[in-house]
A = this chain, B = another copy of it.
Amino acid sequence: MEQIITFITLGVKDLNTSADFYENKFGWKRSDRSSEGLVVFQMNGVLLSLYSREELAKDANMKPNGEGFKGFAMAHNLGSEQEVNDLFAELKAKQVQIIKEPEKVFWGGYSGYVADPDGNIWEIAYNPFL
């Protein structure tokens, strides 16, 4: 099994709300792989897609119920502490939910967290070791 992730799919409560978040808060452009009911972003190598949470559960043969911490995070890395601060300022101005202000962290980097409308969390980090 090759070390390949083709898609990361986020199952969302409301596709328009989530698409608005990624397109207008994060400022990303949807790919033309998007279709009715599926919004796709071409990332570095992997595709990030937004899809109905109910439909995702159904596709996987699971119950859609779930709550609390999802136990996963995505990270967006930047080139310096200043870039992290600047992006937080920009996201705050766009009313993005900040869950942790950026600070120096134990592993030697600098990071904070924001959440998307479904509580999927993004670490925004400067990692001097990357």
The oligomer's copy count stands at: 2
A4 close to B123 (CB less than 8 A): no
Please judge, given known A-B contacts A44-B45, A60-B99, whether A72 and B10 are in contact too, CB under 8 Å. yes
Residues of B within 8 A of A53 (CB): 69, 71
CA distance A70 to B65 in the complex (A): 8
Residue of B nearest to A35 (CB): B107
B1 close to A26 (CB less than 8 A): yes
Residues 59 to 99 of chain A near chain B (Cβ within 8 Å):
59-77, 87, 90, 99
B6 close to A77 (CB less than 8 A): yes
CA distance A125 to B53 in the complex (A): 19
> Count of chain A residues with Cβ under 8 Å from any Cβ of B?
57
A65 close to B72 (CB less than 8 A): no
Residues of B within 8 A of A71 (CB): 10-12, 53, 56-57, 64, 66, 70, 118, 120
Residue positions of A touching B, CB distance < 8 A: 1, 3-12, 26-29, 41-46, 48, 53, 56-57, 59-77, 87, 90, 99-100, 105, 113, 118, 120-121, 123, 125, 127, 130
Q: A3-B43, A4-B44, A11-B73 given. 12 additional CB < 8 A pairs?
A: A5-B8, A5-B76, A6-B76, A7-B77, A8-B72, A8-B73, A53-B71, A56-B71, A56-B73, A60-B113, A63-B69, A66-B67
